[in-house]
Chains A and B, each alone.
Chain A
Amino acid sequence: MARKIRVLIAKPGLDGHDRGAKVIARALRDAGMEVIYTGIRQTPEQIANAAIQEGVDMVGLSSLSGAHMSLFPKVVQILKEKGAEDIIVFGGGIIPVDDIPELKKAGIREIFQPGASTEEIIKYIQENVKTT
């Protein structure tokens, strides 16, 4: 039997704009995935611990506040420290193109910019999670 894809959608940092995160959560659910949503204003520690306890395949981070350069890599780092480097981290939100190479170097596997379709994100997840 195929495994069910589990994804954590989280909002690190202080901005309270979670519309985008909720749209993604709903789209992933409608694509048949189990989505754990942890709400706004999460610290990287909270997000990493939730990802481990929930046994997810991927973590999707959304940030509109501009703090992605410090918060996104922190999540990757804590996951690694806790032996959970197999959990794939991707991100989205308002992220300047120039920041993308550095984020990728820090272990964020993919960045979706404003205008990315939910289909793109779903396809990305389905292609990068082993379900058998």
Chain B
Amino acid sequence: MTLAKRILEGDIRAASRLMRDIDDRVPSALGLLKELYPKTGRAYIIGITGPPGSGKSTIVDKMVDIFRKEEKSVGIVAVDPTSPFTGGAILGDRIRMQRHATDEGVFIRSLATRGCLGGLSRSTQDIVNVMDAMGKEIILVETVGVGQDEVEIVNTAHTSIVVLVPGLGDDIQAIKAGIIEIGDIFVINKCDREGADKMERDLRLVLEMARKREDGWEPPIFKTEAILGKGIFELVYGIYRHRQALEQNRTMERKLRERAKATFLEILETEVMTHLIEKLEKEGRWETIIDDLVNRRADPYSLVEEIMAEELTKGH
């Protein structure tokens, strides 16, 4: 059986190996991704973002219980930061989810950002696609916990959940612009803590003041105590309501077009850059370019124009 076929039939070992190749940017992974792409687009993808320690992994863990009771197969991608100093990473999100490790219907994969900003890793979308091709019905993507700028998730997820907790400094501070705009659903976790009600009021105010969404969806706020499983059922049904709304008012179609565009642009950018950098390296022009710039013999704008002109006239 071919590797692609094995993955389509849900073979964990084959899928896991491909994910490794994707993450390590092994060229042969591309061939498989090409084969799998037509079979993707069936999974429902849920993004979870929020500051470190807000309970994202625990919320994911408890939501999986409900999805599994409904007999849905689940994929989880959990992203943690790579150390910029050593290139290493400790990926610990699994700790909270390990009780699902022996459930054949749950596939958990931890990823390191490997220098990518925005809360995900470069390979995240491709790895989500592999899970999708494996037949996972629900895919949960947990971003790095930063809290202000990890908005990349909107390009990957159908429903984006923002998790907040009371008592992490100034409450409004925790509710910055970017993160407000990406949330389809908000969760105030650890809601037994002091300040939860105030946080809810503040958040509601911020949401009311926010720009009205084109799709007419008004993001709900759920209060949870994830460690005890409180509020998780309501959260999951909030996700289902959002999904229904997406499908009813054709927002889904727009979202899918936006995502396709983002994916295409990202691959195009990477390919063009890699190609051009290789060319300059092969022609041994790096040092000359840098020398010319430092000594002001040339300006970077003209040099780029020159290189682009060379490329574009090639073969004509």
- CB-defined interface of B91-121 with A at 8 Å, one 1/0 digit per residue? 1101100110110000111101010000000
* Interfacial chain B residues near A36, Cβ < 8 Å: 91-92, 94, 110
- Give me 15 A-to-B residue pairs in the complex whose CB atoms sit less than 8 angstroms apart, sorted by A's number: A3-B26, A29-B88, A36-B110, A37-B92, A38-B98, A42-B98, A43-B102, A46-B101, A50-B98, A53-B109, A54-B91, A54-B108, A55-B19, A55-B109, A84-B13
How close is B147's CB to chain A, nearest CB, in angstroms? 22
Map CB proximity to B onto A1-37 as digits: 1 under 8 Å, 0 otherwise.
1011010000000000000000001101111111111
Partner of B23, one of A4, A35, A38, A52: A4
Asked if B16 is at the interface of the complex by the 8 Å CB criterion, the answer is yes
Partner of B87, one of A25, A32, A38: A32
Determine the main DSSP class of A at the interface with B.
mixed
Bound Cα distance from A1 to B29, whole angstroms: 14
CB distance from A6 to the nearest CB of B (A): 7
Residues in A with CB closer than 8 Å to B17 are 55
Q: How far is the CA of A52 from the CA of B101 in the complex (A)?
A: 10
Say which size band chain B's interface belongs to: 20 to 34
Contact with B along A69-110 (1 / 0, CB 8 A): 000000000000011100000000000000000000000000
Given contacts A36-B91, A43-B102, 10 further A-B contacts (CB under 8 A): A29-B89, A30-B88, A31-B88, A36-B94, A37-B94, A49-B101, A50-B98, A52-B13, A53-B109, A54-B108
For B114, the chain A residues whose CB sits under 8 A away are 4
Within 8 A of A (CB), among B62-96: 82-83, 86-92, 94-95
CA A82 – CA B104 in complex, angstroms?
12
Question: Which residue on chain A has the smallest CB distance to residue B110?
Answer: A36
Residue A39 lies at the interface, judged by CB distance under 8 Å to chain B:
yes
Instruction: List the 9 closest pairs (A to B, CB-CB), nearest first.
Output: A29-B88, A55-B20, A39-B95, A46-B101, A55-B16, A32-B87, A3-B24, A32-B88, A49-B101
Q: Does B198 contact A (CB under 8 A)?
A: no
Contact: B86 with A30, CB < 8 Å? yes
The chain A residue sitting closest to B88, CB to CB, is A29
**In the complex, which residue of chain B has the Cβ closest to the Cβ of A27?**
B88
